[in-house]
Amino acid sequence: MKAALAAAREAYAAATDALARAEEAARAVGLDVDQSDEPVRELRAQRIRIVEPDGTTRMLIGNSTIASIAPTRGEDQEHPGRGTFGGILFCNDEGTEAGGLIYAGHRNNGKPSQLGLWTAEGAVKITATAADGTDHTLFSSEATHNGAPTAPAM
């Protein structure tokens, strides 16, 4: 065990030395190895969590599994039965889901699924199907808050 640990430490030291030499060579030819302003060409992820400087979740962008969670006071809680959709969940100052924008990506009765936008007070619907399936709604908020219709979320 001691021999394996010593070998690992030796390999780590050699790798650290090699990295330092490579960075030194790159700097010698004018490359900035400490920070790059180059944009990432492509980012592949199943979920992206946007957080505040203190770590509080502000937004989640995700694939069809995003529906299975509901951020609540900074903790992801299971949200069974919500269906599968990809989209964006927006969170308030305490890290609790406060709304979202989703797209299911499948067909219902041969028609494309709707795009949905909601707020914490209630659902806000924006639909558009066309190409023969009609369905145009494009806004509808029948949800109420304290007995009054909620304001359009757009």
**Confidence label for 152 from pLDDT (cuts 50, 70 and 90):** very low
Burial 103-114 (b: 16+ CB within 10 A, else e): ebeeeeeeebbb
Burial (CB count within 10 angstroms: exposed 0-12, middle 13-18, buried 19+), residue 20: exposed
3-state secondary structure 55-97: CCEEEEEECCCHHHEEEECCEEEECCCCCCCEEEEEECCCCCE
Average pLDDT, the chain: 76
| Ranges 72-76, 103-107, 133-137: which has the least confidence | 133-137
pLDDT tens-digit series, residues 16-49:
888 888 888 888 888 777 766 777 778 888 999 9
Task: Check pLDDT > 70 for residue 74.
Answer: yes
Greater pLDDT, 70 or 116: 70
